Structure 1
Amino acid sequence: MSINLEKHRRMELRKATETRVIRPPEPVPFHRGPEYLVAHACFNCRKSYKRPVEYSGKKPTPCHSCPDCGECMHEMGRSFKAPKAGDKRQWRKVQILFAAGFRFIGCGSHEGDKLPTELSELEDFLINNQEHPLKVAAPNNLMLPDGYRGAATAAN
């Protein structure tokens, strides 16, 4: 490999007169991708999809639309595990919990009682856990399933 001596001499002159400033290479920014995906559920189709939480300014966007029915999907939280689409009782339980203000956040290590596993346990749970750590949203009776008149409406 031949070295261009003239080029090397000129480079050394520029360095000596400080007209050639050599900067160290800048590190490549580490792109981590999107922050994370959060489970969103459609109670109409009984389906769940993971979507990014998009913030415009300081407020989150109102909702993602369901790819199947076009209805608004609701942000459930990162720890949400969707029931099977055919399990209507479990979806009803999840919808009542959502309407009561519960979100599936965190890793499960909280001070409060565990969330109920069956629809039959839900009434007592809602009455006895008004200050539960996973109850982070205001109750919304408009989200309750049709025909439901249980503890979620009485407690609020």
Structure 2
Amino acid sequence: MATLIARLAAACERFGAGRLPRVGDHSIGAGYACAASALLACLVFALAAAALTGTLIDGLSIAVLAGPLVVPSAFLAGALTWRFLSRRFERTPRFGAVAGALATGLTYCVAVLGFTVVLLVVAPPGVPGEPLPEYLAGTAGGAASIGFFGFVLTVPIALPIGTAGGYVYERVRRERGS
């Protein structure tokens, strides 16, 4: 297990998140780790969808549509989770795994909020004469419904990957002494 984690750490430093700005900041580094985990979960889900539907286009279209919303949401959720929890619980055994799981759950909330904002900006304001509160409630309700179905469909893939991503991030960080 230690050699696998050492290889992942070396690959991240050479090709991935290890080269991104402010990666040395604990919470920003965790945000990058969560974003990478979300991208991996998105790709795994796309491949699973392609295998179930029988066409690669269906799976790839899911990844192309979800990725631009999910990856930044995961970065923000990961950074916030580590910012608020690491000071109190950093020495707790398996902190990285628990924080990764919490950040995965928070990613869904952030993504639904982001999707609601996108719908409010992009969607037409509804029928003429429709009261603004009803339009806002309908848009938020639609985004929450889509988010709920997205959660139900993807959580069996995203939760283990997010948990593993948090565990690996903390383990590498502790081994490197940062």
Q: For the pair shown, which has the larger CA radius of gyration, 1 or 2? A: 1
Which bin holds the TM-score, normalised by the shorter protein? Answer: under 0.3
Q: Which has the higher contact order (CA 8 A, sep 6+)?
A: 2
Q: Which has the higher strand share?
A: 1
The two structures have a TM-score, normalised by structure 2, of: 0.23
The two structures have a TM-score, normalised by structure 1, of: 0.25
Q: Which has the higher helix share?
A: 2
